Amino acid sequence: MSSTYTVTRDQVIALALRKLGVLELGDTPDANSIANANMSLNLLIKQFSTEGLKLWKNAELRIPLVGSNNYYVLGGSNSALMYDTTQPSTAVTDKPLKILQAWYRNISVAPNIDTPIQLLSKQEYNILGSKFSTGTANSIFYDVKALNGILYIYLSPDTYSLANLELHVVAQMPLNDMLLSTDIPDFPNEWMNTLIWNLADQLAIEYGVPMNYRNEIMTRAKVYKDQMNDWDVDAYSTNFQPDYRSMIPNSYAR
């Protein structure tokens, strides 16, 4: 017995083409069909990165503090150093899509002590005072760009912070590209059927699939994706509370 069954990139493509009725059972797609479908598959995966939580792509990253820097470029060839805590010696160069949580870890004491850091919006960060003041940071703002992201920290790290603190964040990372025929999609196995039907939906117009059959493919693709997005949620409760920083004190109320 096993629960690890999965499919490769070329198997996803072949299954999608069979759903369209353009590939006979037992046949193999030609090189041009694979190359064309692979472009659609990778673009579809990029879109999927923006939909739902994709909990399996949330990673805890450690970002070493540098000098009195008040910002770090994350992702791309000129990325600041950052390390996935599950692979502490391997640098990560992918662009984080979102920063979900942040904290400082004091490594000068045993056991280490973590202190939460507040996540700010762009507006909140812009109205802060001197952004070059040094000290122990209590806030960050993550500005996502096309090829990378810029992580601003406030305050800039001082000598104590550089010597004793580590910056940790939980980030949503992008889904991996599909480049090789044997690549396995960067999804839990439960997502494979959804990926196949949605690729078929992407290719249906190109292959001239009749409208009534195309509508059935589109309906199945949407139903399966909605089911997986509904399933891909945090199993624990989230608590909300007012942000009192924006509220007027009672003594000033009119």
Instruction: Give the pair of three-digit tokens for residue 137.
Output: 């940071």
In a domain, 244, yes or no: no
CA angle (168, 111, 118) in 5-degree steps: 30
Q: Which residues contact 127 (CB under 8 A, 6 or more apart)?
A: none
**Domain range holding 121?**
55-175
Give the pLDDT of residue 7.
97
CB 217 within 8 A of CB 201: yes
In a domain, 12, yes or no: no
Written in H, E and C, the secondary structure of the chain is CCCCCCCCHHHHHHHHHHHCCCCCCCCCCCHHHHHHHHHHHHHHHHHHCCCCCCHHHEEEEEECCCCCCCEEEECCCCCCCCEECCCCCCECCCCCCEEEEEEEEECCCCCCEEEECEECCHHHHHCCCCCCCEECCCEEEEEECCCCEEEEEECEECHHHHHHEEEEEEEECCCCCCCCCCCCCCCCHHHHHHHHHHHHHHHCCCCCCCHHHHHHHHHHHHHHHHHHHHHCCCCCCCCCCCCHHHCCCHHHCC
Number of Cβ atoms within 10 Å of the Cβ of 157: 22
In a domain, 231, yes or no: no
Q: pLDDT tens digits, the chain, 254 residues: what are they?
A: 899 999 999 999 999 999 999 999 999 999 999 999 999 999 999 999 998 778 999 999 999 999 879 999 999 989 999 999 999 999 999 999 999 999 999 999 999 999 999 999 999 999 998 888 999 989 999 999 999 999 999 999 999 999 999 999 999 999 999 999 999 999 999 999 999 999 999 999 999 999 999 999 999 999 999 999 998 877 666 666 676 665 555 554 44
Q: How many domains does the chain have?
A: 1
Give the pLDDT of residue 200.
98
Give the pLDDT of residue 236.
65
In a domain, 133, yes or no: yes
CA dihedral 67, 90, 54, 36 (to 10 degrees): 120
33 residue type, one letter: S
In a domain, 59, yes or no: yes
Give the pLDDT of residue 240.
64
> Parallel, antiparallel, or unpaired for β 165-172 and 58-63?
antiparallel
Give the pLDDT of residue 232.
82
In a domain, 128, yes or no: yes
Give the pLDDT of residue 252.
47
In a domain, 211, yes or no: no
In a domain, 222, yes or no: no
State the residue for tokens 């006979």. Answer: 24
CB 199 within 8 A of CB 40: yes
